[in-house]
Amino acid sequence: MFKWFDKWNREHPADIERPAILTGVAGAVVLAVVAVMALGQPYKTDSLQTGPRGNGMSVPEFVSDLAVPDPAIAELFDDPPYVPEEGEELAGDIYQNVQVLGDLTDANFNRLMAAMTRWVAPEQGCAYCHGDGDLETYGEDTLYTKVVSRRMIEMTRNINENWDAHVNANKQVGVTCMTCHRGQNVPSDIWFKMGEVNMAAAGWSAVQNRATPLTSYTSLPTDALEKYLLDGDMIGVHDLESRVAARPGDEGVPTIQDAERTYALMNYVANSLGVNCTFCHNTRAFYDGGQVTPQWATESLGIQMVLELNNDYLVPLAEVLPEDRLGPVAGDAPKVACRTCHKGYQQPLQGTNVIADWPELATSEAPDYGQ
C-alpha cells in the first residue's frame, strides 16, 4: 500500500544531507560566538604604536600575555623611609668603615641594609657580606662580597642620578639592586667574553657560525656585545653603495662583518625588551636616523650607559672577584647588557616604580626625604 510513496520519492529525490551539514556548521558558529562573548577572545592582540600610523610601526602583543605580570613584581615590598629628625646621629659616626651611605641616619641605614639583604642574599642574610662574626666585625672588608656591594651601591646611584633620560624616559621608575638581582647573589643574564667559538673550522672562524645565547642562537658573530658594549666600537652596517672609495680596515669604515655584528646586537636588544625592529626603527627607512622613533634615542642612551657601567664599575672588579666568579674562557669579570635589567620586558619590572621608597639610592648626595 506504500508503493505510491516509494514511487514518489524516486521521482522527487530530496537532498537532506546538505541542509543538515549547513545547519550543524551554523550551530557551531553560533556556539563559538556565544563562547567568545561570554569568556573573552583568548587570542586578542593589542599593539603599541611606535611611529606614524599606516606604515606598520607598531609592536603587537597578545593581551593574555600583557595581563601576566613579571613574576618578580610579587617580590617587591614597600618600606617608606624614616624622615630624619634634627640632630639624629648618622651611620658614618656610629659604625666603622662606612665609605658610602655614611650620611644616612641609623634607622634609614639599617632599613636599606635589610632591603639589600632581601634583594641580593635572602638565604645567606647579613653574613653574605659581613661574615659570621659579631657585630663588631661588620666594619671589616674581609669578604669580597662586601667590597663588590659597596661598588654596586655607587653604580646604582650613578644610574639613577646621571642616566635619568634612559631609566625614567616615560615616568619615574628608577633602579635598585632588585632590578637586576631578583633575590639572587649573581644576577641572571650577565655575560662574559666567549673567545673563539668554532675552533674546529679550518682557517678563520670569524667568531661566528655557532649558535650561542649572545647571538640569540643565530650564526651571527658572537662578539657583538664585547665590541659594542665593552670596546665601544661604532655600530653600523657596510656601505649601501657599491664600489665606494673607502676600504675595509680604514678607520670608521664598517665591514660586512661589522654589519653582521650589528644585526647580532639588534637581535639581542629586541629579545631583551620583547619587541621587534619597529620599536626603534622605521622599516621604510632603516638607515635614516631622522626617521626613527623616540625609543631609538632612549635605547642609544642605554647603550652608552651600559658601556660606562661595564668599563667603570664591573671590569675593574676582576681584581676582587674569586676565580669561580670570573668568565670561563677569558677570566673576565661579569658584565651587564640590556637583558640583565629588562628580562624580556620593554621596561624592567614592567615599569614599576622601584625607587620611590629608596631615595638613598637615587643620588650620591644627601637623600631628599621630602621634609
Residues belonging to the binding site are 113, 126, 129-130, 152, 166, 177, 180-181, 266, 277, 280-281, 338, 341-342
How far from chain centre, in Å, is Cα 74? Answer: 18
Largest CA distance in the chain: 117
CB 259 within 8 A of CB 237: yes
Q: What is the CA radius of gyration of the chain?
A: 29
How far from 45 is each of 54, 63, 279, 306, CA to CA, in Å?
Answer: 18, 5, 16, 32
What is the SS3 assignment for the chain? CCHHHHHHHHHCCCCCHHHHHHHHHHHHHHHHHHHHHHHCCCCCEEEEECCCCCCCCEEEEEHHHHCCCCHHHHHCCCCCCCCCCCCCCEHHHHCCCCCCCCCCEHHHHHHHHHHHHHHHCCCCCCHHHHCCCCHHHCCCCCCHHHHHHHHHHHHHHHHHHHCHHHHCCCCCCCCCHHHHHCCCCCCCCCECCCCCCCCCCCCCCCCCCCCCHHHCCCCCCCCHHHHHHCCCCCCCCCCCCCCCCCCCCCCCCCCHHHHHHHHHHHHHHHHHHCCCHHHCCCCCCCCCHHHCCHHHHHHHHHHHHHHHHHHHHHHHHHHCCCHHHCCCCCCCCCECCHHHHHCCCCCHHHHCCCCCCCHHHCCCCCCCCCC
Sign of CA dihedral 263, 62, 349, 50: positive
Please enumerate, by residue number, every residue annotated as part of a binding site for heme: 113, 126, 129-130, 152, 166, 177, 180-181, 266, 277, 280-281, 338, 341-342
